[in-house]
Amino acid sequence: MIQITPQMRILVAVEAVDLRRGIDGLARVCQEVLQTDPFSGCLFVFRNRRATTLKILVYDSQGFWLCQKRLSRGRFRFWPESPSGVCQRLEAHELQVLLAAGNPAGAQAPAAWRRVSPGH
């Protein structure tokens, strides 16, 4: 099972990807396009050109997970942009909103880590 935690590094590929690719093809995209090790434990999110399907790739130290969500109606209206044009980092709560076909840019949540003051 994939556990999405607030500490997890989540990278979204900005450009559309041919989702006919399987695990090996998407791992190659991670290496060659995103310049990131697919074995790093990062969770990688990809979408197709029509913005109707997402695929998530993650390595859990035993093997790869590949998950897919295809909308039965409509499109993923939001997709992140990046100054580098390659990938954008998302927080765990933003990924949950994205998977629900929402706009994570407006999602608010407390910081994933905050200093706890003694006596409070």
Asked if 33 contacts 18 with a C-beta cutoff of 8 angstroms, the reply is: no
CA 13 to chain centre: 8
CA distance 46 to 43: 10
Name the residue ranges covered by the structural domains of the chain.
Answer: 10-104
Q: What is the pLDDT of residue 103?
A: 85
Determine phi and psi for 85, rounding to 5 degrees.
75, 5
Question: What are the pLDDT tens digits along the chain (120 aa)?
Answer: 678 888 899 999 999 999 999 999 999 999 999 999 999 999 999 999 999 999 999 999 999 999 999 999 999 988 887 777 799 999 998 999 999 988 887 776 666 566 677 765
Q: What is the pLDDT of residue 13?
A: 94
Q: Residue 88 corresponds to which tokens in the numbers above?
A: 């954008």
